[in-house]
Amino acid sequence: MGGTSTPEARVLLSLEEISKSFGGPNVLTDVSLSVAAGNVLGLAGENGAGKSTLLRVAAGLEQPDAGVIRIGGEPCVLRGYTDAIERGVFMVFQEQALIPNLSVAENLFLGMAHRFRTLGVLRRSMMCRRAQEFLDEFGLSALVQADRPLGSYEFNKRQLVEIVRAFALAELLGVEHPVLLLDEATAALTENERQLLFSFIEQARGRAAFVFVSHLLGELIGVADDLLVLKDGEVVGRRRASETTETELHQLITGRTRPAAFYLEERQRVPTGDVVLSGKALSVDRAFSDVDMTVRRGEIVGVAGVVGSGKEMLGRVLSRLDKPSSGTLGIVESVGYVPKERKEEGIIGSQSVLWNASLAGVARGSLQRFGVLRLREERRRVRQLITHLDIRPPELNKEIGKLSGGNQQKVVLGRWTLASPTVLVLDNPTRGVDVGSRHAIYSVIRDLCDEGMGIVIISDDLLEVIGLSDRILAMRDGRIVTELDTPNDAKPTEHDLVAHLT
């Protein structure tokens, strides 16, 4: 996308030598950044590098232990998020800060409803009308209606509302030059929706500044003007985006060169095992119909399709979370499932890493003897899991909700290595996960495949589906439209796959 900022552009937000700890080692150490009007600053780093904590400091949600925050050149102490938005800093959260049972309009103006009151009475029609105007302005009128409950929309549509909310609050508060902090705002969006967001950014460049976090390196380079790279809470690189390659950025982020075969294609083998999952004429009303498929032991089958193609519901049916309307499903022994929405379905945030990691193993009896939980064995195996997956911090009793997204996802995937199901269904297994953690997750997937597990991967990341799969089922409008073989020495391109999806 490229930048239009100049050295003379007014700096809207600067953080100077920010340090922060939560009682242990520093999460941030002497981190500085600045972003000017018309500028997009790309913030890169592995999960746990400190990106989200830095944004939370900028948004008043965390108090720094040391350092200075300047907004519009003036030093300030932010005592909460309200302080930040009143000064023109708005955050789009990685995990949505919205209320599903309220309307889209009520969520759009959450905390600002008093501005639509007359003599103490909330004028809902005025709020809905103004909300719809914002949605229309950003080209969302065909996707989202202001008067509908937010919870009636899929996660990706709710994410668009979260993004528009930041713009709406800025205008409602009369902030002339807002700063928008976008923390993994594109992680749940389709390609079309991402392009819509990027057009938002381009439209607002003249009056706003952005700090943009993404784990998609090509996206960061394409959208940002400047790049700031964090590792272990410290700045390890500052670059002009236009002068940086994905390989260079990957090396800065991880401290190592990105493998040529990022998806470990060299470990792919021709599957010859028995069929462990079979579906015949599977259908779910208003989702998909007449799906035939098989998965062999030691095989990875990818399912690709745009939002609304039926692929997510197919994953739930294969996992036996939902029943098909018709058709037959045959599964040998047991099936595991890694959901797309980690926070909502994958973890219990207030429980420990130990509890979350051993959940499936306990339920399936693999950590029991004569009906009694083997506590010592449970702790031994979860410690091994933590070491093998490099889960940070390596603490059994740490609340999983306090881990970074990538480390949470490692736990969710790792629990199935303890339970050892015959089939494992993965729905967007690396959504919101940094590049280093992705590679670790791909290694685990290959390990499970080597052990004979049949794996189904459903992903919006086409390169991921292509790189990992032995075969790909392409879905469009609720049907399997083609099957592509993807041997490690003859992978199809994204273009080849997209041609079947749209």
Is the sign of the CA dihedral 197, 198, 203, 204 positive or negative? positive
Taking alpha carbons only, the member of 296, 275, 291 closest to residue 324 is 291
* Residue 272, both tokens: 């010859």
| Residue found by looking up tokens 């047991």 in the block | 334
Q: Is the separation of the CB atoms in 110 and 85 below 8 Å?
A: no
Is the sign of the CA dihedral 361, 363, 364, 370 positive or negative? positive
Q: For residues 132 and 291, what is the distance between their CA atoms, to the nearest angstrom? A: 39
Taking alpha carbons only, the member of 431, 397, 461, 488 closest to residue 47 is 431
Q: For residues 142 and 135, what is the distance between their CA atoms, to the nearest angstrom? A: 9
496: left (phi over 0), alpha (psi -120 to 50) or beta: alpha
Identify whether 324 is preceded by a cis peptide bond (ω within 30 of 0).
no
Looking at residue 64, what DSSP letter applies? -
CATH of 12-254 given 3.30.70.360, 3.40.190.10, 3.10.129.10, 3.40.50.300:
3.40.50.300
Is the sign of the CA dihedral 255, 259, 263, 264 positive or negative? negative
Say how many C-beta atoms besides its own lie within 10 A of residue 432's C-beta.
Answer: 24
Looking at residue 346, what DSSP letter applies? I
- What's the maximum distance between 2 C-alpha atoms anywhere in the chain? 74
Q: For residues 111 and 113, what is the distance between their CA atoms, to the nearest angstrom? A: 6
- Asked if the domains 12-254 and 265-501 are classified in one and the same CATH topology, the answer is yes
Q: Is the separation of the CB atoms in 43 and 181 below 8 Å?
A: no
Is the sign of the CA dihedral 456, 460, 466, 468 positive or negative? negative
Q: Letter for the amino acid at 86?
A: E
Residues 6 or more apart in contact with residue 396 via CB below 8 angstroms? 352, 353, 354, 379, 382, 383, 386
Question: What are the domain boundaries of the chain?
Answer: 12-254, 265-501
| Residue found by looking up tokens 């945030």 in the block | 349
Helix (H, G, I), strand (E, B) or coil at 341: coil
Cβ burial 86-107 (10 Å sphere, 16+ → b, else e): ebbbbbbbbbbebeeeebbbbb
pLDDT (tens digit, 0 to 9) for every residue of the chain, 502 residues total? Answer: 554 444 457 899 999 999 999 877 788 999 999 999 999 999 998 877 889 899 999 999 999 999 999 999 999 999 999 999 999 999 987 666 788 899 999 999 887 888 888 888 888 899 999 999 989 888 888 889 999 999 898 877 887 888 888 888 888 888 888 999 998 888 777 777 788 888 888 878 888 899 999 888 889 999 999 999 998 899 999 999 999 999 899 889 888 776 778 899 999 999 989 999 999 999 999 899 999 999 999 999 999 998 779 999 999 999 999 999 999 999 878 999 999 888 788 898 899 999 999 987 776 666 666 566 678 888 998 999 999 888 888 999 999 988 888 889 999 999 998 888 999 999 999 887 878 888 889 999 999 999 999 999 999 888 899 999 999 999 998 999 999 999 999 999 888 898 898 7
Per-residue pLDDT, 304: 94
Say how many C-beta atoms besides its own lie within 10 A of residue 139's C-beta.
Answer: 12
Q: Cα separations (Å) of 8 from 32, 33, 210, 306, 392?
A: 19, 17, 17, 43, 41
Per-residue pLDDT, 342: 82
* Residue 144, both tokens: 């989202």
For the chain, count helices (H), then strands (E). 15, 23
- Which uninterrupted H or E stretch holds 292? strand 288-296
Give 76's strand partners: 69
Taking alpha carbons only, the member of 84, 100, 89, 222 closest to residue 161 is 100
Length of the chain: 502
Q: Is the separation of the CB atoms in 194 and 186 below 8 Å?
A: yes
Q: What CATH architecture is 265-501?
A: 3-Layer(aba) Sandwich (3.40)
What are the start-end ranges of the H helices in 175-275? 191-204, 217-223, 246-254
Q: For residues 63 and 60, what is the distance between their CA atoms, to the nearest angstrom? A: 7
Q: Is the separation of the CB atoms in 357 and 415 below 8 Å?
A: yes
Q: Is the separation of the CB atoms in 112 and 103 below 8 Å?
A: no
Looking from the CA of 181 toward its CB, the CA atoms found within 13 Å total 26
Give 484's strand partners: 472
Per-residue pLDDT, 432: 75
**pTM, entire model:** 0.66
Per-residue pLDDT, 174: 87
Q: Is the separation of the CB atoms in 493 and 465 below 8 Å?
A: no
Per-residue pLDDT, 6: 43
What are the start-end ranges of the H helices in 50-206? 51-58, 81-86, 104-108, 124-137, 155-172, 191-204
Q: For residues 74 and 101, what is the distance between their CA atoms, to the nearest angstrom? A: 39
